[in-house]
Structure 1
Amino acid sequence: MHFEQQTPLNAFLNILFDRYQEKVPAVKKVTDALVAQGVVKSQQDIVNDHIAFRTLGVPHLGIQSFEKIFLHHGYQKRDYYYFEGKKLNAYWYAPPSDQYPRIFMSELMVSDLSEQAQKIIHRYTDPIQADPVNGLNFNDGLQIGEFFHRSLWPLPSKHDYELLLAESEYAAWVIYNRYYLNHYTISVHALKEGYNHIEQFDAFVEGLGIRLNTSGGKIKVSGDGLLKQSSTVAEMQEATFADGETMSIAGSYVEFAERLPLPEYADMPANQLTPAHRRNGFETNNADKIFESTYTGQTKA
């Protein structure tokens, strides 16, 4: 994912992706291997199915704040998803045109956590007395790009991070990583023959020595069988906390998605299929397991 034309939307998507790519070696490893095999010429040739963000459901933050940026740039809010066990809400957003990725935005239902976890999160977020997004110029792509990497609240202490980790791995990830890009997603079906089915692509990725998320099986399949997803296990990063202590924590990862043709287009020649002919949206059960790409059950396996 990289855009040549510098519109505000392109500018901040490029900033997001460049910083994400720097910290997630699997991105370059997969792209370089695809180039070496002649599957693509460069990163620009890879179709990005969607990018995902994690947020905290507290006053002045969360989905209601973050979505304003994308709605301004022509994204349309679509289906709602609820993850009971993980205490999350989520929505996906359809892009203004097919050249852009879908957005998947989730939010931790902080009020559903234990009193201890709520107190920890609010200690960091309560000083935010107004929606920080409201102060942005939405038509300044560089400003938006910097906002995604800005410290809206102080770095957590290692002690607070570990207390959150024990109750909600999602909460711990967000309190440290903030709005940092959680993952980008390769549209497997857009690749050439031999790489355009998720089973083939997973084998290719594992052949590079990259571990895949095994929660719910390596391939997560929607109830209708038309959306197949898999992902790498999050890259570990050495985190330095507010008290100067360090530990290795989960960063971000790469996802792979195959969207099959809708039943009425199943017999259409592959070279005539467009995104409109394929399964759209997301699947709660699939996403529930993809979330665990950053969880210790996967990263410590």
Structure 2
Amino acid sequence: MTIDTLFRQLWQQYLEVTPSAKPIQQLLGQGDPIINDHIALRTYALPDIGLEDLGRHFVQLGFEYAGDYQFGVKKLRARHLQHPDPSIPKVFISELKVNELSATAQRIIGQLYQQVKVGFMGSVSHLYSGRPWSVSYHDYLTLLNESEYAAWVAAFGYRANHFTVNVNLLDGFYDLIQVNQALVNAGFKLNHSGGEIKGSELAMLEQSSTLADHVAVSFSDQQAIIPSCFYEFALRYPDASGQLYQGFVEASADKIFDSTNAL
């Protein structure tokens, strides 16, 4: 599978649960293509479906690991990959440290994991295959009470959690203030966790995001409307060498995770 094909498949699957994405593209692109800064994927830190198991497919396509991040309160570890070709979007993959959760949460996630076929993540197509397990709404709510991230992965499985507009290459908009105002004026709701704009020019990265769309999800015991995926916006600044900073800022990323919060 080529890089273009993989990102196209991830994008099409993302659109299925993110109805706001196309209107946002039309609003910001004004008829021109939107350039993507990065995508993000979520998973559990378990054998065969861990961070590096997902990342392996991108490494095989020429990506390289370029940053490591820790989110202590959320019990997450993350790494990002980037391609030698700077025009190719970066990939941010995170995993939940399941062994740090309560016994109840570990039991629920263990039951989901038992439903995953051996060697599941050996196929690149499983990066956009959705949920490889059956889960009840009751168990979703139980996980949600402890970890929004755990509940989201249980409900949505494998897909791009968000795509990100590269504001540096966005015609007609010069900063995130303009982008955010255009979104608010059009009726889109933004994530205010940690401030409407996370990061700064000093940190060499500013980010903002919408709140996740809400979609109907079929659980084993009922259907429910829950937060799905969101759209992010990133503006990068030059580092000491004069090149645009290509990494991520832990404090900002921590708040971007909140875009899918249900409580």
Partner residue of 2:256?
A: 290
Q: Does 1:31 align with 2:31?
A: no
Residues 225 and 92 (structure 1), Cα distance of their counterparts in 2 relative to 1, 3 Å cut? same
Q: Distance in 2 between matches of 1:109 and 1:294?
A: 18
Residue pairs, 1:1-301, within 5 angstroms: 8-36=2-30, 41-42=31-32, 45-128=33-116, 130-134=118-122, 136=123, 144-145=124-125, 148-152=128-132, 154-192=133-171, 194-222=172-200, 224-243=202-221, 245-263=222-240, 265=242, 277-297=243-263
Deviation at 1:104? 0.2
The gaps in structure 1 that reach 5 residues or longer are 1-6, 137-143, 266-276
Point out the structure with the larger strand share: 2
Deviation at 1:239? 1.4
Q: Distance in 2 between matches of 1:149 and 1:129?
A: 13
Tell me how many residue pairs correspond in the alignment: 263
Q: Distance in 1 between matches of 2:143 and 2:169?
A: 39
Deviation at 1:147? 5.0
Secondary structure of the residue that 1:22 maps to in structure 2?
helix
Residues 218 and 150 (structure 1), Cα distance of their counterparts in 2 relative to 1, 3 Å cut? closer
Bigger Cα Rg: 1
Contact 1:95 1:103 in 2 (8 A): no
Contact 2:190 2:196 in 1 (8 A): yes
Residues 147 and 220 (structure 1), Cα distance of their counterparts in 2 relative to 1, 3 Å cut? closer
Deviation at 1:127? 4.2
Q: Distance in 1 between matches of 2:29 and 2:206?
A: 24
Secondary structure of the residue that 1:296 maps to in structure 2?
coil
Secondary structure of the residue that 2:20 maps to in structure 1?
helix
Contact 2:75 2:100 in 1 (8 A): yes
Q: Distance in 2 between matches of 1:290 and 1:34?
A: 20
Give the aligned CA root-mean-square deviation in angstroms: 1.7
Q: Which amino acid aligns with 1:184?
A: F
Q: Distance in 2 between matches of 1:104 and 1:188?
A: 18
Q: Distance in 1 between matches of 2:136 and 2:6?
A: 30
Contact 1:57 1:107 in 2 (8 A): yes
Q: Distance in 1 between matches of 2:217 and 2:189?
A: 21
Q: Which amino acid aligns with 1:232?
A: T
Residues 75 and 239 (structure 1), Cα distance of their counterparts in 2 relative to 1, 3 Å cut? same
TM-score, L = length of structure 2: 0.94
Q: Distance in 2 between matches of 1:151 and 1:21?
A: 16
Can you list the C-alpha shifts for 1:148-202, whole angstroms capped at 9, x where unaligned? 21542x221011111000000100000110011100000111122x412111111
Q: Distance in 1 between matches of 2:238 and 2:48?
A: 40
Residues 51 and 164 (structure 1), Cα distance of their counterparts in 2 relative to 1, 3 Å cut? same
Q: Distance in 2 between matches of 1:209 and 1:127?
A: 40
Contact 2:136 2:220 in 1 (8 A): yes
Contact 1:222 1:283 in 2 (8 A): no
Q: Distance in 1 between matches of 2:102 and 2:240?
A: 45
Q: Distance in 2 between matches of 1:221 and 1:210?
A: 21
Q: Higher mean Cα deviation, 201-210 or 122-131?
A: 122-131
TM-score, L = length of structure 1: 0.83
Q: Which amino acid aligns with 2:5?
A: A
Q: Which amino acid aligns with 1:170?
A: Y
